[in-house]
Each structure stands twice: as structure tokens, then as C-alpha cells.
Amino acid sequence: MEISELDKYGICDGISEIILTSGIKNPNAAPIGLIRKDNRIFIRLYKGSTTYENVKQDKNFAANVTCDPLLFVKSTFSNLKNENFKYYSLNSTKIPLLKNSASSVIFICGEIKHTEQAMTAEIIPMDAVANDYRPKAINRGLTAVIEAAVHATRYELTGDNKFLDLIDQCMETTYKCGGQREKDAADILLYEIDEIKKHVSGGKDTE
């Protein structure tokens, strides 16, 4: 499949925040940014996640396009339930997909580079399925809760309190502009932040 065809499935130039599903035996889901530039696509996976381990081992995964804030927030902090997954057969393996995504693209890894903290893989699209093309207007409550989830993962990693302030600002927008699903996702995120606060070392600066 050509990279240019990915536009049809919602993966366009720039960084697309998708939910990556991986793991043949135990399906796993996590939000990841796909970097598309100059007709090539990459992912950068930081060490320490299940996604990192699965992709390193299997060298394949699915990128699921969705605007559902609950799927994003739940898959950031814990795994989704088995009932959220279905399977796509690629050669002799089965790759997990998200049932309720707008589209899913199956990728295999090309060249992989490892650094001390992460791996970067050029990825090759093999096939894609489109489930739902309903248009959705930009909702600032949605973009803010996704932004807050990114800050939350950085807070968990660094313990830097500046991320808590950024999360507060995002939450203000979500509770003002979001629909019920965005607000429910924000409630989960705030609960998870309280949990993270209990075990982060606190006060460390980011690089």
C-alpha cells in the first residue's frame, strides 16, 4: 500500500495521534504519535511500555484512528478490555485492532534504530480498513483532554510539577467546551493523576 493512500484513513502529514494495538497473545492498546514526513512514516517508542516490548518483538501493529476521548484516556493509564479488540490476519499471525475505531492501518516495521531511551522505527503500511467516515468538528474539549493525557505521561515520567499546572489549564477547557464523553475522560484523567501523585518522586526537572 502507498503512503499517499493513508490520507483516506485519516493518517496525514505531520504527527497523528492514534491508538496503537499490538501483542499477539495479550492484546494491548496505547496512544502513540505517528510521524509522517516527506512520504515516510516513523514511530518513536520509549522504553518501559508494553507497546515498546510488543513492537520490538513482533515488528507489526495496527494504528487505530479514533476521536473517542475515553479510549485515549483509558488506554493511556491502563489496558482496554478484551471486548474492545478484534483481529486481523497477516501472513500466519493475528494482529489486534480496535473494534470501534474510524479506521485501522496495519503496519510492519522497516529499519529500527535503538537509543538509550527509545527505539525509532520506519514503518510500512500493509493494509487498511475503514469503518466509519462520519465527520466530526474540532472540539477544543477533546484536543485539551488529549493534551492533558500527554502531560500526564510526562508528569509520571519526570515528577515535574509544571505538568500539573498544564493539566489544570487543559481541564478548564475540557470542562468548558467538551461533551459528556470528554468530561468523563477528564474525570478519569484527574483520578489517575491523583494516583500517580502518590508514587512519583516529585520535584525532578525535565531535561
Ligand X SMILES: Cc1cc2nc3c(=O)[nH]c(=O)nc-3n(C[C@H](O)[C@H](O)[C@H](O)COP(=O)(O)O)c2cc1C
Q: Which residues bind ligand X (CB under 6 A)?
A: 17, 28, 30-33, 44-46, 49-51, 76, 79, 146, 149-150, 153
**Distance between CA 83 and CA 65 in Å, rounded?**
18
Of the pair 2, 194, the CB lying nearest ligand X is at: 194
C-alpha span between 129 and 35 (Å, rounded): 20
Query: How buried is residue 149: exposed, middle or buried, by Cβ count under 10 Å (0-12/13-18/19+)?
Result: buried
CB of 96 to ligand X, least distance (A): 12
Closest distance between ligand X and the C-beta of residue 203, in Å? 21
All cell numbers assigned to 7:
490520507
Cβ closest to ligand X, residue 76 vs residue 101: 76
Residue pair 73/185 in contact (Cβ under 8 Å)? The answer is yes
Residue 105 and residue 207: Cα distance in Å, rounded?
34
**Residue 50 vs 100, nearer CB to ligand X:** 50
Calculate the alpha carbon distances from 30 to 37, 78, 194 in Å: 22, 8, 20
Task: Give me the least distance between CB of 131 and ligand X, in Å please.
Answer: 21
The nearest distance, CB 29 to ligand X, in angstroms, is 7
Residue 152 identity: A
User: Residue 35: which of 101, 100, 118, 116 has the closest Cα?
Assistant: 118
* For ligand X, the closer CB: 21 or 104: 21
Q: Which is nearer to ligand X, 33 or 100 (CB)?
A: 33
Structural contact between residues 190 and 144, judged by C-beta atoms closer than 8 angstroms = no
Answer whether 183's CB lies under 8 Å from 140's CB.
Answer: no
Pick 49 or 131: Cβ nearer ligand X: 49
Least Å from the CB of residue 92 to ligand X: 24
Gap between the terminal Cα atoms of the chain: 39
Q: How far is the CB of 33 from ligand X (least distance, A)?
A: 4
